[in-house]
């Protein structure tokens, strides 16, 4: 548990290639390594689906 909020970057694990991907809150959820759009949040391990707007 981090006592300090860290809103700048969130780490994800790519569901496609398994690489670690660091995203900023406003960035599109997409792996930079393989362009996969489903990433697992590293802390919760819950799936994060790409939100099309």
Give the binding site for Zn ion (CB under 5 A).
14, 16-17, 31, 33-34, 36
- Integer CA distances (angstroms), 37 to 17, 41, 47, in order: 11, 12, 11
Look at phi and psi of residue 15 and say left if phi exceeds 0, alpha if psi is from -120 to 50, else beta.
alpha
Closer residue to Zn ion in complex, CB, 32/43: 32
Q: How far is the CB of 13 from Zn ion (least distance, A)?
A: 9
CB of 1 to Zn ion, least distance (A): 28
Q: Judged by CB, which is closer to Zn ion: 9, or 35?
A: 35
């Amino acid at each position: 548990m981090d006592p300090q909020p860290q809103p700048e970057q969130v780490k994800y694990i790519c569901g496609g290639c398994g690489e670690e991907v660091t995203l900023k809150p406003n960035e599109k959820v997409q792996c930079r390594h393989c362009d996969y759009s489903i990433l697992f949040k590293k802390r919760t391990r819950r799936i994060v689906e790409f939100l099309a707007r």
